[in-house]
Chain A
Amino acid sequence: MKKNKFPIFLITIVLVAVLAGIFDYQPLWSKFVSKAHLPAAVNRGWRLGLDLVGGSLLTYNVDLSQVSAADRDSVVRGLRDVIEKRVNLFGVSEPQIYIADVGDQRNLIVELAGIKDINQAIEMIGETPLLDFREVEEMPAAATASSTEQLNEGPNYKFTPTNLTGRYVTSAQVSFDSFGKPVVDITFNNEGAKIFEDLTARNVNKYLAIFLDNQPIEIPIVKEKISGGKAQISGNLTPDSARKLVERFNAGALPAPIELVSQQTIGASLGLDSLKKTIFSGLLGFILVILLMIGYYRASGIIACLALLIYVSLSLGIFKVIPVTMTLAGIAGFILSIGMAVDANVLIFARMKEELKKGLSRKAAVEEGFRRAWPSIRDSNITTLIIAIILFYFATSFVKGFALTLFIGVLMSMFSAITVTKALLEVFIRDTKK
């Protein structure tokens, strides 16, 4: 009856899977793109994690003790943008910088893929003009030394931090004072200008200290209230240091201090070695599964293997399209899902055999087998999906890959069981009734 119906659906799926297979294997895909004159934009490679291409993962703890609770989000976001600019100056391709909330602490995580000189990068990120203004109180036992001479916070001065910091600086430039010494002019934004005005108004004829990286660089006397949001840093600057300072300001001053709390660097050769070993192991695992299936289930095992092959090809295609960053754990998660994907097929075959034994026709047995296997397939995958979602939200970046590939892998395996396997069975399974 329906035996001769042309299996359009199956053929479409097989074609898509073959195309996905070409897409999955990057060397072949590049060739295909150039031969078929497709736009270069579709010739995208795999996105590999730091643990496979080598690179660094830096975790910074943000010190928000000086920032009011309401401002914290914007400060941390600003911090991320500033670090991003700095890293871009360093020429890292696609740096990933993200914020991680840990209780009431904020961490900034910086991923630098393929970076060679991590030491320099750390310096670049960490060596930051942390500028702030502090009010100065002369202690009773004040010495007569004039402002700039006595820079250390000795017994003579007491510095009180204010909320005017480098995060209000919009621009900076080098100029020279009347003695030809380099100075740095900084401009505050409106908010900063307002704070600066209040601050100077409060401190007329008093000292106001300018701190850079927690060191007082200048302690001028405020002569009058300053509005307009402009200030000048002189101190002991050389033309070179002034220029550097300006560059750093214009890349953005760090709005809050940061501290490097962890560093994970993987050498490129170790990464490549891991990648090769993982792919080889994965292939071997796949072959073992196929051998077992064919050895144990014979003909229907071959069908399961075809379904599995299509499943692998399509899933990898999805990973590449999204693109999912493939880490070691991510690839392991996918290999795991290959092993699990067989399960749905096994459940279906078992049910179908029972139905065939009852004497149902092929078509009916396939239908009935699927209908009765489906609740088990669904139920048996949902707990894994729940765990994958939770892991994705709670885990750190390397593990996120595992959760993501596992999640997509399991979803795809369910999909392929009810579509691909079914289509294959409808075409290939013979009636037991002669």
Chain B
Amino acid sequence: MDIIKNRYIFFILSGVLILASIFAFYFFGVKQGIDLAGGTSWQIQITNSAVNEGSLKSVLAEIVAANNSNSSDFVIKSLPDKNFLIRLPTISEESHQKYYQALQAKFGEVKEGGFQSIGPTIGQELRQRFIWAFIIGLIGILLYVAWAFRKVSFPIKSWKYGVIVVLCGFHDIIVPIGIMAFLGWNKGIEIDTNFIVALMFILGYSINDTIVVFDRIRENLVLAHRGNFDFAGLINAAVKQTFARSVSTSLTTVLAIAPLYFIGPLSLKYFILTLMLGIIVGSYSSIFIASPLLYVWHPIKAKNKVK
């Protein structure tokens, strides 16, 4: 497999992925969960078997209208085992109790699974925090990469490794964002705090992956004789040497968490999906994008092709 020779295939593939992701993000936007946007999420279980989404909807509409005249928007989603997830704007504990009592009066036994009501200011604070976390994380990683690659600056300046590592990191978080934006538009999937955490994790993880490949290139460069060597061949060899490792480590990581996606709790489902997407994309980019980028950027490639 000659990655350098086929580099344009991968560049085009990644280009298309990134453009599609930006397109999805720009046109669909992402749906924010209540922890970011504020609102109420209320999970109840109604034992009365006659109740369905429709009847709950009409009853809830009455209750909301009776207690809170200025807002009547709510969404009901059916979950397995007669569970329902109700979305409301932020409400007080007092209203929550009123709604709850009204539901019980109407349907008999109603069990509460969870109730979360989050004010809009919380989301704002959270976003601010994560923006900072992101910036500091990026700076930390940049510093580390610069330090890790400080020694070998022949024939490639060490900061170039760093730039490519970070570019790949961006590549790997843009694609999951695009996919989640698409899912938000298509299926109403929301992003929450966990999603942002997953993105940060992906940033760290995918950069790891790229570093291992670059480490190998760096090592091979040291071993190679100065002067005449085939840089493309050297990169191909390094990728080949690390390929099995890259694939197997991503595979084991994805395998370890995959059951959480399929049979784990609902609240982790899309967190895990984002992680899996990021790990897969990250593994792809460290094999097929990072090294060809290094090759393309490297100024002395023409000279060394002679061999």
Chain A interface (Cβ within 8 Å of chain B)?
51, 59, 61, 102-103, 105, 107, 118-119, 122, 260-267, 269-270, 273-274, 277-278, 280-282, 284-286, 288-289, 292-293, 296, 328-329, 332, 335-336, 338-340, 342-343, 346-347, 350, 375-376, 379-384, 386-388, 390-391, 393-396, 398-399, 402-403, 406
Contacts and interface: CB of A to CB of B under 8 A. Distances in A.
Contact of B141 (A267, A269, A386): A386
A261 B119 contact: yes
B252 A281 contact: no
B215 A350 contact: no
B251 A328 contact: no
A267 B97 CA distance: 15
Contacts of A292: 248, 251-252, 255
B249 A346 contact: yes
Contacts of A118: 93
Contact of B137 (A266, A278, A281, A386): A386
Given A277-B263, A328-B267, A379-B215, 11 more contacts: A261-B119, A262-B119, A265-B112, A281-B260, A286-B256, A289-B255, A375-B215, A379-B211, A382-B148, A387-B204, A406-B201
23 contacts: A260-B92, A261-B119, A263-B118, A264-B117, A266-B114, A278-B268, A281-B263, A285-B257, A336-B257, A336-B275, A339-B256, A342-B252, A346-B245, A376-B211, A376-B212, A382-B148, A384-B204, A386-B137, A386-B140, A386-B141, A393-B133, A395-B133, A399-B193
B277 to A, nearest CB: 14
Contacts of B116: 262-265
Contacts of A342: 248-249, 252-253
A296 B248 contact: yes
Contact of A263 (B93, B113, B193): B93
Interface string B247-280: 0110111111111101111011001100100000
A398 B115 CA distance: 16
A59 B122 contact: yes
B95 to A, nearest CB: 12
Given A329-B194, A383-B141, A383-B144, A262 B118 contact: yes
B256 A335 contact: yes
A332 B260 contact: yes
Given A346-B245, A394-B130, A285 B259 contact: yes
Nearest to B92: A260
B144 A399 contact: no
A106 to B, nearest CB: 11
Contacts of B193: 395-396, 398-399
Interface of B: 43, 92-93, 96-97, 111-119, 121-122, 125-126, 128-130, 132-133, 136-137, 140-141, 144, 148, 193-194, 197, 200-201, 203-205, 207-209, 211-212, 215-216, 241, 244-245, 248-249, 251-260, 262-265, 267-268, 271-272, 275
B260 A278 contact: yes
A61 B212 CA distance: 46
Contacts of B256: 285-286, 288-289, 335-336, 338-339
A103 B125 contact: yes
Contact of B252 (A270, A339, A379): A339
B125 A102 contact: yes
Given A273-B265, A284-B259, A261 B121 contact: yes
A277 B264 contact: yes
A340 B206 CA distance: 12
Contact of B271 (A261, A332, A350): A332
A386 B114 contact: no
B197 A336 contact: no
Contacts of B258: 285, 288
B75 to A, nearest CB: 19
B260 A335 contact: yes
Most buried by B among A105, A379, A381: A379
Most interface-central of A102, A286, A336, A388 (chain B CB within 10 A): A336
Given A278-B268, A336-B253, A386-B140, A380 B211 contact: yes
Contacts of B136: 390, 394
A393 B200 CA distance: 13
A381 B141 CA distance: 11
A381 B212 CA distance: 10
B212 A380 contact: yes
Closest 6 CB pairs of A and B: A339-B256, A339-B253, A387-B204, A394-B133, A261-B119, A274-B265
A356 B112 CA distance: 61
A384 B255 contact: no
Nearest to B279: A339
B254 to A, nearest CB: 7
Contacts of B132: 394
Nearest to B253: A339
B245 A278 contact: no
Contact of B245 (A59, A328, A332, A350): A350
B203 A387 contact: yes
Contacts of B121: 61, 105, 261
B253 A379 contact: no
B208 A383 contact: yes
